[in-house]
Amino acid sequence: MKPNPDKHNKKVTVLAKKARNVRGKRLKIRRMEPAGLKPPVHLSQMLPSEEKTDAACSSCSAMKRNFSYEEPISSEGPETGADVPGKDKKLKGVVGDISSDLCFVSSDSSVSEDISGSTMTRLNIGSISVIGRRRAMEDSMTVAPGFIAGEYEFFAVYDGHGGARVANACRDRLHHLVEKELQSGNSNTTGELEWTKVMKSCFLKMDEEVVSLLEGENHMKEQAAERGVGSTAVVVMVGSEELVVANCGDSRAVLCRGGVAMPLSNDHKPDRPDEKERVEAAGGRIINWDGCRVQGVLATSRSIGDQYLKPYVIADPEVTVNKRTQSDEFLIIATDGLWDVVSNEVACEVVRRCLNGRISKRFSKEPGAAQAAAILAQLAIAKGSRDNISAIVVDLKKTSSKASGT
């Protein structure tokens, strides 16, 4: 008996449809899975009481809620008072279709205890880390207020690849290396040149630590796989008079100053002319394989770890020092899960409006940096981000005094 081609084609079509449905369900489950830093807080728990009832009664309506903000941007908010470019434009963000899935991992305007134990003025800080549409969480972050006897606030995001081990090691160790270096008395951090020496020393020590760790644990098996684990790192230290930024990779720090988005770091992409020249001078190649990649593998030209790509991929950070001004409003420090789909200008506009209380009512009774960070993550997912998303928002205008032991 001859096989029936129509019956065979119909069976293949049914199987393909089932496979698509399974993948779709898996994406829906995993896209907002929390990283596990803190127990997740569902967005509906942060809604005002009258909206809590609606969310509980109908998850469908919560999923389809359309957050569209039509009012013109105010040129003078309660905290800033500075003009925003394009203030006559209207911000329209359709992000409500995922609102009921958004989970907060580390998102709180009331910061953790001052690690120095001293009396100091605290910044309003919010942070969030979500798995997005990835299978695993590879991002990490550090928020260390009162860093080094209250002189600096330390913030960093780490975007791992090949696993989260290097990103987690950076989260646990890098700020301690910086603290030790500054307290050693060998460094005079009075300018960009000296800060560059300090940060380069710390980043290279961190790189040596993770390489030794991975080699020591896997010297007999899976060594090649572990040599391919790495992480980007962008560190921002906020002092009373300056902002010190050290960047290695394609995570980014952006300052909003007087309503204008100012990038404080320059992404290390393989197709950046100076980075391409450096890689090729070291004997490496930039290959366009689903985007420009070092040796056709890594989409960033600098990172911590990635031993198998040295000396083409290096751990040396680029360091900038910016004097603080009265016009400084807030910082956004985030991984490329945000920046690949949201521009600096749009991100700053969203955060500015949230801090001014114009987008907060859907999420919380009070506006703040925590809500701003959550909205950025929600916006990135709505715009199609397929990466983990981690973001820290630091409100440089709103502070609160806190004495130790109170």
Residue 2, token pair as written in the block: 């001859």
CA distances from 140 to 167, 233, 363 (A): 6, 10, 24
Closest CA to 265 of 211, 322, 216, 348: 322
pLDDT of res. 146: 84
Cα radius of gyration (the chain): 23
Give the pLDDT confidence score for residue 404 in this predicted structure.
36
Give the CA dihedral 99, 100, 103, 109, nearest 10 degrees.
Answer: 60
pLDDT of residue 109: 37
Q: Give me the residues paired with residue 288 across strands.
A: 292
Whether residue 311 is preceded by a cis peptide bond, meaning omega within 30 degrees of 0, is yes
This prediction has a pTM of 0.72
Query: What kind and span of H or E run contains 119?
Result: none
pLDDT along the chain (406 residues), means of 10: 58 58 48 38 33 32 30 30 37 39 41 37 87 95 85 95 95 95 74 90 97 70 66 96 96 97 98 97 94 95 95 97 96 98 98 85 66 95 96 85 39
* Whole-number pLDDT of residue 9: 60
Q: Is the dihedral of CA 204, 242, 368, 125 positive or negative?
A: positive
What's the half-sphere exposure (Cβ side, CA atoms, 13 Å) at 250? 22
Whole-angstrom Cα distance, residue 105 to residue 122? 21
Task: Give the integer Cα–Cα distance in Å for 43 and 62.
Answer: 10
Retrieve residue 44's tokens. 């509906």
Sign of CA dihedral 172, 194, 147, 235: negative
Whether 167 and 160 have beta carbons less than 8 Å apart is answered as yes
Element (H, E) at 55: helix 49-57
Within 8 A by CB and 6+ apart from 374, the residues are 43, 102, 104, 107, 126, 128, 363
Q: Are strands 304-305 and 230-231 parallel, antiparallel or unpaired?
A: antiparallel
pLDDT of 56 reads: 30
User: In whole angstroms, what is the distance from residue 75 CA to residue 172 CA?
Assistant: 41
Fill in the amino acid letter for 361: K
Question: C-alpha 323: how far from its chain's center?
Answer: 23
Residue 163, pLDDT score: 93
Q: What domains, with CATH codes, occur in the chain?
A: 34-402 (3.60.40.10)
pLDDT at 88: 35
In this structure, what is the dihedral angle of CA atoms 124, 325, 115, 107, given to the nearest 10 degrees?
Answer: 30
| Cα distance between residue 292 and residue 84, in whole Å | 34
Query: From its phi and psi, is residue 351 left (phi > 0), alpha (psi between -120 and 50) or beta?
Result: alpha
